[in-house]
Amino acid sequence: MTISHRTIGTGEHKVLVLHDWFDTAASWGPFLDHLDPDAFGYAFVDYRGYGERRDVAGEFTLAEIASDALALVDRLGWGSFSVVGHSMGGKAAQRVLAEAPGRVRKLVGVTPVPAGRYPLEGDAYDLFHGAASHPANRRAILDLVTGHRAGARWLDAMTARSVAGSRPEAFAGYLDDWTTQDFAAKVAGSTLPVKVFVGEHDPALSAELMRGTWLVHYPNAELEVLANSGHYPMHEVPVALATALEAFLRA
């Protein structure tokens, strides 16, 4: 099976990059322009039901993402690699670590979902679970997680790209999985170097939540709060994110 991906760079340090619930491998925005292609070799992966794999059948689970991602790095001939995951992709990145702990060099979560359950209740449940079939819900979520600071043009473009880039059943399936799965016990205590980025204006995946989850699970984790950003620092503060990310990977 071909696993669609985008590569940037030919450097020795290989980096697997996993996108969020809304986006695809092609949706990292201006952040990509600021990566160092000589020091790093990045592979940005599409999930089943998303992007160039929009029509690929699947179970639409984090375990499936991890299995496909590991199959890709094997095909690329990577023995060891770092993993970067954004939001839902941050939880999927931890699943990769759980499945192949001896191969992961460093782990980076960008406004990431923790490894435990992430329960949605009341209005939040209705908003998120209605997003597969209602673009207005997707737009409202984007507006919420960026702190109601983004302009209408950006919100409209992100919403349209999300709808075009994902199948509704995949979008719904991944939501069910990333909100209910709990594999924290499989990764807790890992001494891997870990970096967690959050945006100061992200009300959901906040610094407080990271201190109670990621920083508890990983004793060598460090947290950085990105100023002037919400949930999408690759769009909101791309230079700052790329610079801080690669400084951690180089260390």
149: number of Cβ within 10 Å: 13
The residues, any chain, with a CB within 8 Å of residue 33's CB and separated by 6 or more, are: 238
pLDDT reported for residue 212: 98
pLDDT reported for residue 198: 98
Strand 40-45 relative to strand 5-8: parallel, antiparallel, unpaired?
A: antiparallel
- CA neighbor of 233 nearest in space, from 169, 174, 150: 150
Measured CA to CA, the distance from residue 52 to residue 24 in angstroms comes to 8
pLDDT reported for residue 2: 67
Q: Do the beta carbons of residue 53 and residue 71 sit within 8 Å?
A: no
For residue 26, the Cα-to-chain-centroid distance in whole angstroms is 13
Q: Do the beta carbons of residue 248 and residue 148 sit within 8 Å?
A: no
Rama region for 114: left / alpha / beta (φ>0; ψ in -120 to 50; rest) = beta
Torsion of CA 127, 132, 136, 138, to 10 degrees: 70
The amino acid present at 193, given as its one-letter code, is: P
The amino acid present at 104, given as its one-letter code, is: V
User: Roughly what angle, to the nearest 10 degrees, separates helices 88-99 and 168-180?
Assistant: 70
Measured CA to CA, the distance from residue 19 to residue 116 in angstroms comes to 19
Domain chopping of the chain, boundaries? 5-250
Classify domain 5-250 by CATH number. 3.40.50.1820
Tens of pLDDT along the chain (251 residues) come to: 667 788 999 999 999 999 999 999 999 999 999 999 999 999 999 999 999 999 999 999 999 999 999 999 999 999 999 999 999 999 999 999 999 999 999 999 999 999 999 999 999 999 999 999 999 999 999 999 999 999 999 999 999 999 999 999 999 999 999 999 999 999 999 999 999 999 999 999 999 999 999 999 999 999 999 999 999 999 999 999 999 999 999 99
pLDDT reported for residue 69: 97
pLDDT reported for residue 251: 94
Q: Do the beta carbons of residue 143 and residue 232 sit within 8 Å?
A: no
- CA neighbor of 174 nearest in space, from 99, 86, 77, 63: 63
pTM: 0.97
pLDDT reported for residue 3: 75
Where does residue 218 rank: exposed (0-12), middle (13-18), buried (19+ CB within 10 A)? buried
